[in-house]
Amino acid sequence: MRRKLIAGNWKMNGSLAGNAALLDGLRAGCANLNADLAVCVPAPYLAQVQATLTGSGIVWGAQDVSVHESGAYTGEVSVSMLKDFACRYVIVGHSERRSYHGESDELVAQKAVRALGAGLVPIVCVGETLQEREQGQTNAVVTRQLKAVLDAVGTQLAGIVIAYEPVWAIGTGKTATPDMAQQVHELIRTNLAQRDAAAASTIQVLYGGSMKPDNAKELLAMADIDGGLIGGAALKAADFLAIAQAA
């Protein structure tokens, strides 16, 4: 039985004062949950999150990482910097990075490898656009994105988390139905099992895309949905905790 993981992606939101209120709310409400909680925050707030959440049971991470270890890469953040702030997770290949920053399947795969090498857990995002879904390419796109990562991580497969995030559902209020999501999660599980059956049975495959308190329960009830990657609803403690309670 895989334990559920509810991970928040704050994206480029937050302020010291606003984060303090949100984190206090999460700390206050996180006891007795049947799910693990994580928040992936903008890098400048990692120190605040570490100071506030240490000892709470909630873990934290970043939203992206460089493929380089150090050097002349202005604006980049390395895995060792994330380790300095005791990050557990790092999101790689979010669709906003793929589309606005031109990240290729290969770059995403290299980031996953770099994260694993540093002892971080990469949350690898995959998912199709609306056009790709309408053209019947969902399975091919997800399989291609996944293959790049699976080829690159090799025997370290068991150390990753995957998030299926249909691009058309992110931040739009449109959610994949539980059956639609389950169909892709099953495809992902099958792809994983072809590499390593034992790892496939333990790897958490999260759903992301307008998951909210009112739709979380049905999605999280599906056989291959092991949690959620939550954007908008992660910015309100009550909503984020309600999703965790639905798990």
User: Which of the residues are catalytic?
Assistant: 94, 165
Q: Which residue in the set 4, 5, 6, 9 belongs to the binding site for ligand PEP (CB under 6 A)?
A: 9
What is the distance between the alpha carbons of residues 39 and 101, in angstroms, rounded to a whole number? 22
Tell the smallest beta-carbon distance from residue 80 to ligand PEP (Å).
25
For ligand PEP, the closer CB: 30 or 230: 230
CB 182, CB 205: distance < 8 Å: no
The reply to whether 103 sits near ligand PEP by the rule CB under 6 A is no
The reply to whether 160 sits near ligand PEP by the rule CB under 6 A is no
Q: Which residue in the set 210, 239, 246, 247 belongs to the binding site for ligand PEP (CB under 6 A)?
A: 210
Instruction: With H, G, I as helix, E, B as strand and everything else as coil, classify residue 32.
Output: coil
Helical spans, DSSP H, in 87-126: 95-100, 105-117
Stated as kind and residue range, the H or E segment containing 90 is: strand 89-92
* Per-residue binder mask for ligand PEP (CB under 6 A), 220-239, x = binder: ---------xxxxx------
Torsions phi, psi of 137, nearest 5? -105, 10
Tell the smallest beta-carbon distance from residue 209 to ligand PEP (Å).
5
Q: How many residues does the chain have?
A: 247
Residue 17 contacts by C-beta under 8 Å, 6 or more apart in sequence?
Answer: none
For ligand PEP, the closer CB: 109 or 231: 231
> What letter does residue 135 receive in the DSSP assignment?
T
Tell the smallest beta-carbon distance from residue 231 to ligand PEP (Å).
2
**Chain positions contacting ligand PEP, by CB under 6 A:** 9, 11, 165, 170-171, 208-211, 229-233
